[in-house]
Structure 1
């Protein structure tokens, strides 16, 4: 299971959202669960809730995805960096042939986008 956290999911995790906490726990405890936090998402989450980026980056079950050149080119074509980086991270890759699911508390934002979502709204 490959899951990309958007900035709303990161904020929810910092505010005690049970569903977000369960995802983080599973990614730490289960070998076939992978959680990703794209760098641009971390920045946006930290802007709205200072300390979020450092907290999430310190969790052993979360992999921070760098803004490498292909990601930067994808982000440059979009209006918001956090959404663009999350969407880019959810696309299929050699390691994730089926892509990843985006965990969010704002699922309507992703309607019409070529991604699958996991609603973390309590």
Structure 2
């Protein structure tokens, strides 16, 4: 995959960078490095990111709307301005009971000594 990033040293209005698409999940990469990624995601009502497990901690921050973040069968409702850390190796799913936009940040450094 080609390493595509946004231009550096310019102001980004995050909620304007990504648009909702009916019945879809849309994502745009802000930064993609071997040490981690920052991704913007817009999820339309009724859609979800399928249950997943990551070998890294993931920080989810809601920048518009309300999301349901399920971590190990524990449901959390996050609203604009709220965030949550999904622990490494935890099953998680993100649901759009209403449409929302979020930032997903994955930091891979610091896990070098952990066997996966």
Fold match by TM threshold 0.5 = no
In our comparison, the structure showing a higher alpha carbon Rg is 2
The structure that is helix-richer by fraction is 1
The structure that is strand-richer by fraction is 2
TM-score interval, normalised by the smaller of the two chains: under 0.3
TM-score normalized by the length of structure 2: 0.26
